[in-house]
Amino acid sequence: MSVIIRLQNLAWSANALDIRRLFHGLCIPDGGVHIVGGENGDAFIAFSTDEDARKAMHMDGALLLQNPIKLYLSSKNEMQ
């Protein structure tokens, strides 16, 4: 079972590979990055384990393509 994290303030030019690089070393399954975009720059990331999701949450405020990102625990329902 995967754990879903919502990422906000994603740069419009960012792609799934940029997100995977940010979370290098954490297990994101194939198809685990869903970029929504919109006014909040939303993306949803599925992590394979609770531990990887916890580690990812420590990246809140990190810079991705010079934008500080916000991370929130989410769910598959919110992602859809």
- Residue 10 has a pLDDT of 97
Bridge partners (DSSP) of residue 35 are: 43
- At 28 the three-state DSSP class reads coil
Print the domain residue range for 35: 3-79
pLDDT per position as a tens digit, 46-66: 999 999 999 999 999 999 999
Tally of domains within the chain: 1
**Residue 80 pLDDT grade (very low, low, confident, very high; cuts 50, 70, 90):** confident
The pLDDT tens digits for 16-35 are 999 999 999 999 999 999 99
Most distant CA atoms of the chain, gap in Å: 32
CATH of the domain at 61: 3.30.70.330
- 1 CB-near residues (< 8 Å, 6+ apart): none
